[in-house]
Amino acid sequence: MFALVDVNNFYASCETVFRPDLRGKPVVVVSNNDGCIISRSVEAKALGINMTAPYFKIKDELHRNQVTVFSSNYALYGDLSNRVMMTLEEMVPAVELYSIDEAFVDVSGIANCMPLETFGRQIRERVLKNTGLTVGVGIAPTKTLAKLANFAAKNWQQTGGVVDLSSRNRQRKLLALVPVHEVWGVGRRISKKLGLMGIENALQLADSSTWVMRKHFNVVLERTVRELRGESCLAFDEFAPSKQQIICSRSFGQRITAYRDMHQAVCAYAERAAEKLRAERQFCCAVSVFMRTSPHAQNETFYAPQSSGRLTVPSNDTRDIVRVATHALQAIWKEGFRYMKAGVMLSDFFSQGVAQLNLFDEYPPRPDSHALMQVIDRLNHSGRGTVWFAGQGIQQSWAMKREMLSPRYTTHYPDFPIVR
Partner DNA sequence: TCTGGGGTCCTAGGACCC
Q: Does 25 bind DNA (CB under 7 A)?
A: no
Other beta carbons within 10 Å of 97: 17
How would you classify residue 24: left for phi > 0, otherwise alpha for psi between -120 and 50, otherwise beta? left
Find the binding residues for DNA in span 83-142 (CB under 7 A). Answer: 98-102
Q: Does 297 bind DNA (CB under 7 A)?
A: yes
Distance, in Å, from the CA atom of 121 to the CA atom of 239, rounded to the nearest integer, reads 26
* Binding segment (CB under 7 A) for DNA, from list 108-116, 188-196, 355-363, 411-419: 188-196
CA atoms in the 13 A half-sphere facing the CB of 214: 7
Looking at the Cβ atoms of 160 and 185, the one nearer to DNA is 185
Which residue from 116, 123, 248, 289 is in contact with DNA, where contact means CB under 7 A? 248
Q: Does 243 bind DNA (CB under 7 A)?
A: yes
Of 96, 89, 94, nearest to 237 by C-alpha is 96
Looking at the Cβ atoms of 350 and 366, the one nearer to DNA is 350
Find the binding residues for DNA in span 393-412 (CB under 7 A). Answer: 400
Which residue from 189, 335, 382, 395 is in contact with DNA, where contact means CB under 7 A? 189
Looking at the Cβ atoms of 67 and 284, the one nearer to DNA is 284
Which residue from 341, 393, 398, 409 is in contact with DNA, where contact means CB under 7 A? 341
Distance, in Å, from the CA atom of 36 to the CA atom of 57, rounded to the nearest integer, reads 9
Find the binding residues for DNA in span 2-21 (CB under 7 A). Answer: 6
* Binding segment (CB under 7 A) for DNA, from list 114-122, 237-245, 355-363, 367-375: 237-245
| Amino acid occupying residue 105 | V
Q: Does 359 bind DNA (CB under 7 A)?
A: no
Q: Are strands 339-350 and 283-293 parallel, antiparallel or unpaired?
A: antiparallel
Find the binding residues for DNA in span 215-234 (CB under 7 A). Answer: 218-220
Please give the size of the binding site for DNA, defined by CB under 7 A: 47
Q: Does 32 bind DNA (CB under 7 A)?
A: yes
Distance, in Å, from the CA atom of 325 to the CA atom of 303, rounded to the nearest integer, reads 19
Which residue from 93, 109, 179, 187 is in contact with DNA, where contact means CB under 7 A? 187
Which residue from 71, 144, 208, 249 is in contact with DNA, where contact means CB under 7 A? 249
Collapsing DSSP states into helix, strand and coil, what is residue 178?
Answer: coil
Which helix (DSSP H) or strand (DSSP E) does residue 85 occupy? helix 74-91
Looking at the Cβ atoms of 130 and 244, the one nearer to DNA is 244
* Binding segment (CB under 7 A) for DNA, from list 85-93, 117-125, 204-212, 243-251: 243-251
Looking at the Cβ atoms of 110 and 145, the one nearer to DNA is 145
Q: What is the b/e burial string over 110-137, where b = at least 16 CB atoms within 10 angstroms of the residue's CB?
A: beeeeebbebbeebbeebeeebbbebbb
Indicate the length of the chain as a whole number.
420
φ and ψ at 374, to 5 degrees? Answer: -65, -40
Nearest distance from residue 102's CB to DNA, in Å?
A: 5
Q: Per-residue contact track with DNA, 300 to 339, x per CB under 7 A?
A: ----------------------------------------
Distance, in Å, from the CA atom of 224 to the CA atom of 247, rounded to the nearest integer, reads 29
Looking at the Cβ atoms of 250 and 366, the one nearer to DNA is 250
Looking at the Cβ atoms of 249 and 316, the one nearer to DNA is 249
Collapsing DSSP states into helix, strand and coil, what is residue 345?
Answer: strand
Which residue from 188, 235, 299, 367 is in contact with DNA, where contact means CB under 7 A? 188
Q: Does 299 bind DNA (CB under 7 A)?
A: no
Q: Is 281 buried (19+), middle (13-18) or exposed (0-12) by CB count in 10 A?
A: exposed
Question: What separation in angstroms does the CA of 298 have from each of 33, 35, 285, 295?
Answer: 21, 18, 38, 8
Strands of 95-99's sheet in order across: 95-99, 102-106, 2-7, 135-140, 162-164
Positions in the binding site for DNA (CB under 7 A): 6, 31-33, 35-36, 38, 52, 54, 56, 98-102, 147, 183-191, 218-220, 241, 243-251, 255, 276, 294, 296-297, 340-341, 343, 400
